[in-house]
A and B are shown apart, each in its own frame.
Chain A
């Protein structure tokens, strides 16, 4: 299963959330690959707390691979090479978690025919090796989005299942932008159809993740005034209506990630330890991530809404 993580705007927590999903899947025993196709800002190594030297030596990263400079992209075994003290003790019965980093200092680039073929080679190889492959894509209508749309429409990939997660924050602008990324003329679905995808199939494979959503019920806001609570309720309602109007309503939402300081500031994996011992992360956040991770392969949450 390939999972493409996309967002229209930056700051949606796409990278950190999708990395957490990869981590959660690995904890359940799946072999998971995390592929950093955020070409303009290849920083996934930081999320997994892979040492700086590691990042510096990643000259054989995905940029070099796709441009044909290196035959095999560098891979980082997260359990073994992370500096995160809790991740180093690979949990029993967990699957492999392997990061495919971009080049240190790599930038956005125009992808050609040869890069596309190499992208397909890579995705097929990962599909044969990993249960779940999470591909983090540059924000917006990027070359990365374009390339994987073309790749998944290629005859060689006809038997490889894939799903799209579109991340957006819970604001008016983000809702409209996320809808545009998927539904506008040259969006994921329109662009995908241009490249040979079947419209209904592609539509059925796209779900949304609302990120950094303040939960009015959360203890975080319980100190606020009643007026504030009422206002938050009303805003939430209005946003739900807006989302539905823009065809990204509740029926196509795979999950909601609460506003969580540890995700916003530290941009790292949330471990059980963070919730239970040090209590710097909220239980709800961890549960939300676990649930979204589970739903990735739960067919009842996919298909035509």
Chain B
């Protein structure tokens, strides 16, 4: 078979991110973070201290050979590798992120494996790619046996959570989230855009993007990691506030409110920095989310509520008991 020197341009990129609280009593310092995320003996963990502690593992690859999910039921087989990495923000929020790019068409038969390995993160269809159907299929979730990059992210998360560095004592109860994304090519001359951000189920979010053809794959994944991180922060703090019984009185309830809200102050409130690690090219994709519903607006309201609650409960109970008469 004749060697094919260049990678055909991708017409679809997709990925999934798992975001969760690191199950450890203390946040990891940068040294321990590097230890946790050292997935490969010969590659550095990328460490960054501005604007906050952030550690990112080397990429790992997982081979796949299976049908692609598609909205119209077409069973297109595809072969290639899915890239995955893990990231730890402020030693506290752990993310695993898996993604791949797909070209418009591929050879009709599977090629020797070594030829796929020199194009990391590319999954090639056998034949033509029904792009839009696959994009919808990815977001909607495929059938069992279809390509599932979420499984790759999950596998990496499971591996990291088994690390002996973790004492398995999370400082508060929380739920992991999943963010699934697809990126389709933008119209020629158009910049990148965020078409849709959906809160699908309790734990699932889906994002649909349009990007110019030359967009860097790692930058795209970084943007989606950033969206997932901030969505998890919002989700987690909202649930924390949901769990407390407001307007309750008495010393016991004060204890309960402070116990419920304090972890937010200790572990989460300083993490909000949307766009901090997003390339200049993709940074504008945050704008529509900030405009409506206004992620930062909601975050600030939540932060204010937490601070108000804590202030209120710092007041001795008898003075707090001024319930408005009905």
Query: Interface residues, chain A, CB within 8 Å of chain B?
Result: 29, 31, 59-60, 70-72, 77, 93, 95, 117, 121, 124-125, 127-131, 155-160
Q: How large is the interface on B (under 10, 10 to 19, 20 to 34, 35 or more residues)?
A: 20 to 34
Q: Say whether B173 contacts A130, CB under 8 Å.
A: yes
User: Which of chain A's residues have a CB closer than 8 A to the CB of B245?
Assistant: 29, 93
**Total number of A-B contacts with CB less than 8 angstroms?**
47
CB distance from B65 to the nearest CB of A (A): 17
**Once the chains are docked, how many angstroms separate the CA of A156 from the CA of B169?**
10
Contact across chains for A156 and B162 when beta carbons are under 8 A apart: yes
Contacts A71-B151, A93-B245; A159 near B167 (Cβ below 8 A): yes
Bound Cα distance A157, B176 (Å): 19
Give the complex CA separation of A125 and B176 in angstroms: 9
Q: List which B107-166 residues lie within 8 A (CB) of chain A.
A: 144, 151, 154-155, 158, 161-162, 164
Contact A128 B162 (CB under 8 A): no
Q: In the complex, A157 Cα to B23 Cα: how many Å?
A: 12
Bound-state Cα–Cα, A174 to B33, Å:
52
Taking A29-B243, A156-B168 as contacts, is the C-beta distance between A128 and B23 under 8 angstroms? yes
| B151 engages A124 (CB within 8 Å) | no
Contact partner, A128, options B151, B173, B202, B243, Cβ 8 Å:
B173
Q: Which residue of A lies closest to B159 (CB)?
A: A121
> Whole-angstrom distance from the CB of A86 to the nearest CB of chain B?
22
A129 and B175: CB pair below 8 A?
yes
Q: Which residues of A contact B23 (CB under 8 A)?
A: 124, 128
Q: Give 20 pairs: A residue, B residue, CB < 8 Å, sorted on A.
A: A29-B245, A59-B144, A71-B151, A71-B158, A72-B154, A93-B245, A117-B162, A121-B158, A124-B23, A128-B20, A128-B21, A128-B173, A128-B174, A129-B173, A155-B164, A156-B162, A156-B164, A157-B168, A158-B168, A159-B168
Q: Cβ of B155 and Cβ of A71 under 8 Å apart?
A: yes
Chain B residue contacts of A158, Cβ below 8 A = 168
Write the B162-197 contact mask toward A (1 if CB under 8 angstroms, else 0).
Answer: 101001111001111000000000000000000000
Q: A29-B245, A129-B174, A129-B176 are in contact. List 8 more A-B contacts (CB 8 A).
A: A71-B155, A93-B245, A121-B161, A124-B161, A128-B174, A131-B173, A159-B167, A160-B168
CB contact list, B193-231 vs A, under 8 A:
202
Chain B residues within 8 Å of A130, by CB:
173
Provide the bound-state CA to CA distance between A83 and B167, in Å: 40
A159 touches B169 (CB 8 A): yes
Q: Per-residue 0/1 for B232-251: is the Cβ within 8 Å of any A Cβ (1 yes, 0 no)?
A: 00000000000101000000
CA distance A124 to B158 in the complex (A): 11
Report which residue of B151, B168, B202 has the largest number of chain A beta carbons within 10 angstroms of its beta carbon.
B168
Residues of A within 8 A of B161 (CB): 121, 124-125
Which chain A residues lie closer than 8 Å to B173 at the CB level?
31, 128-131
Q: Mark B305-318, 1 if CB is under 8 A from A, else 0.
A: 00000000000000
Task: Tell me the minimal C-beta distance from B252 to chain A in angstroms.
Answer: 14
* Closest-CB distance, B263 to chain A (whole angstroms): 13
A residues in contact with B167, CB < 8 Å: 159
In the complex the two chains form, what is the Cα distance from A276 to B245 in whole Å? 26
Using CB atoms, name the residue of chain A closest to B201.
A77
In the assembled complex, the CB of A236 is this many whole angstroms from the nearest CB of chain B, namely 38
Which B residues lie within 8 Å of A60 (CB)? 144
Bound form: Cα–Cα A160–B170 in Å: 10
Q: Give min CB distance, B259 to chain A, whole Å.
A: 12
A-B pairs, top 4 by smallest CB distance, nearest first, are A159-B169, A128-B170, A71-B151, A71-B154
The answer to whether A121 touches B154, judged by C-beta atoms less than 8 angstroms apart, is: no
Distance A59 CA – B144 CA, assembled complex (angstroms)? 10
Q: How far is the CB of B216 from chain A (nearest CB, A)?
A: 29
- Rounded to whole angstroms, the CA-CA distance of A158 and B174 in the bound complex is 20
Residue of B whose beta carbon sits closest to that of A60: B144
